[in-house]
Amino acid sequence: MSAHGTVSCANSRVCASSPDTASVQRDGQRRGTFRALRHRNYRLFFLGQMVSVVGSWVQLTALMWLAFHLTGTSRWPALVAAAQLIPGFLLGAWGGALADRRDERGYVRVDDQLRVAGETNVFAVGGVSDADRDMAGIASRQAALVAANIRTLITGEGELQSWETMPWMIAIPLGPEGGAGLLGDGVADAATISGLKGRDMGMGHFQTLFNAGVAA
Ligand SMILES: Cc1cc2nc3c(=O)[nH]c(=O)nc-3n(C[C@H](O)[C@H](O)[C@H](O)COP(=O)(O)OP(=O)(O)OC[C@H]3O[C@@H](n4cnc5c(N)ncnc54)[C@H](O)[C@@H]3O)c2cc1C
5 lies in some domain: no
Q: Judge if the beta carbon of residue 195 lies within 6 A of ligand 1.
A: no
Nearest CA to ligand 1 atom 33: 127
Q: Each residue of 124-135: pLDDT tens digit? A: 999 999 999 999
94 lies in some domain: no
25 lies in some domain: no
Nearest CA to ligand 1 atom 26: 126
* Residue 127 Cα to ligand 1 middle (Å): 6
CA-nearest of 116, 119, 123, 110 to 149 is 123
Q: Each residue of 162-195: pLDDT tens digit? A: 999 998 889 999 999 999 999 888 899 999 999 9
User: What is the edge-to-edge ordering of all strands in the sheet holding 169-174?
Assistant: 169-174, 178-183, 187-188
Show which of 150, 165, 180 is a domain's final residue.
165
Nearest CA to ligand 1 atom 3: 135
CA-nearest of 95, 131, 100, 93 to 118 is 100
**Mean pLDDT on 111-127:** 94
Q: Judge if the beta carbon of residue 139 lies within 6 A of ligand 1.
A: yes
Strand partners, 169: 183
**CA triplet 193, 197, 200: central angle to 5 degrees?**
130
pTM above 0.75, yes or no: no
* Residues making up the chain, counted from first to last: 216
Residues 173 and 196 in one domain: yes
Q: Of the ranges 13-27, 56-70, 110-124, 127-141, which one carries the lowest mean pLDDT score?
A: 13-27
- Selected residue with higher pLDDT from 72 and 4: 72
210 lies in some domain: yes
Residues 208 and 174 in one domain: yes
From 135, 138, 169, 174, the mutation candidate for ligand 1 (largest count of ligand atoms within 8 A of CB) is: 135
Q: Of the ranges 9-18, 92-101, 159-168, which one carries the lowest mean pLDDT score?
A: 9-18
Q: Judge if the beta carbon of residue 202 lies within 6 A of ligand 1.
A: no
Domain of 199 in residue numbering reads as 167-216
Residues 79 and 50 in one domain: yes
194 — phi, psi (to 5°)? -65, -35
CA-nearest of 129, 116, 135, 216 to 181 is 135
Nearest CA to ligand 1 atom 31: 127
Q: Judge if the beta carbon of residue 178 lies within 6 A of ligand 1.
A: no
Q: Judge if the beta carbon of residue 126 lies within 6 A of ligand 1.
A: yes
Nearest CA to ligand 1 atom 5: 135
Ligand 1 closest atom vs CA 126: 26
Ligand 1 closest atom vs CA 169: 11
Q: Each residue of 133-146: pLDDT tens digit? A: 999 889 999 999 99
Domain count, the chain: 3
* Residue 143 Cα to ligand 1 middle (Å): 13
Instruction: Please state, rounded to an integer, the average pLDDT across all residues of the chain.
Output: 86
Residues 107 and 157 in one domain: yes
10 lies in some domain: no
